[in-house]
């Protein structure tokens, strides 16, 4: 199973404000240029999204469901309210990352989009992420929810490519080579 992270951060490494706010992010691509920063190509390549409850609840607050008909798995140890209009494509699961991957692989899924800070960190800690696509937004927000926290080991990355966009966004793609020995 391939698992990829596609996410934006502030230059200082935050994915959201401390309260979960993402008001500092550009809105869904650049409307004037038609630039979507490779998102459509990426989302078309994945079979399903796996996200944490906070990311899911943030997505519910958008004007429309941002993932179309793509299946979404919400990881939570508590009950997850799923509106009727997305009930056929969204499910809740309470399991550690390795078990989530096993269950989804049994369904024939081959490529997962992993989203949300805690979820990304959990999958990375378990060595389940193969690729990182990180877009740096040219802003410093000073404090917030970091993309990465402490890891039990070093994670070696191979740089694949970096793209710079006219509006100042910089997107880097990395392959996770292999986890290094524990510290």
Place of tokens 């990355």: 157
- Helices 53-60 and 117-125, axial angle in degrees (round to 10): 150
Query: Between the CA of residue 85 and those of 44, 81, 82, what are the distances in Å?
Result: 21, 12, 8
Q: Which residue has the tokens 């934006």?
A: 8
Identify the pLDDT of residue 183: 46
Tens-binned pLDDT, residue by residue, of the chain (183 aa) = 999 999 999 999 999 999 989 999 886 555 455 678 899 999 999 999 999 999 999 999 988 999 999 999 999 999 999 999 999 999 999 999 999 999 999 999 999 999 999 999 999 999 999 999 999 999 999 999 999 988 888 899 999 999 999 999 999 999 999 655 554
Instruction: Report CA dihedral (15, 21, 24, 25) to the nearest 10 degrees.
Output: 60
pLDDT value of position 26: 82
Domains, the chain: 2-22+32-182 (3.40.430.10)
State the pTM of this model.
0.91
44 phi-psi bin (left φ>0, alpha ψ -120 to 50, beta other): alpha
Residue 179's pLDDT is 59
């Amino acid at each position: 199973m391939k698992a990829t992270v596609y996410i934006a951060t502030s230059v200082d490494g935050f994915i959201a404000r401390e309260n979960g706010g993402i008001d500092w992010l550009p809105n869904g691509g650049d409307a004037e240029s038609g630039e979507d920063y490779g998102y459509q190509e990426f989302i078309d390549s994945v079979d399903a999204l796996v996200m944490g409850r906070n990311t899911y609840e943030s997505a519910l607050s958008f004007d429309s469901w941002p993932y179309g008909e793509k299946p979404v798995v919400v990881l939570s140890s508590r009950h997850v309210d799923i509106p009727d209009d997305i009930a056929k494509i969204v499910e809740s699961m309470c399991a550690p990352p390795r078990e989530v991957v096993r269950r989804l692989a049994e369904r024939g899924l081959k490529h997962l989009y992993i989203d949300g800070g805690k979820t990304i960190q959990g999958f990375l800690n378990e060595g389940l992420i193969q690729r990182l696509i990180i877009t740096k937004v040219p802003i410093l927000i000073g404090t917030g929810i970091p993309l990465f926290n402490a890891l039990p080991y070093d994670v070696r990355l191979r740089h694949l490519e970096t793209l710079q966009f006219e509006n100042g966004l910089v997107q880097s793609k990395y392959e996770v080579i292999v986890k290094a020995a524990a510290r």
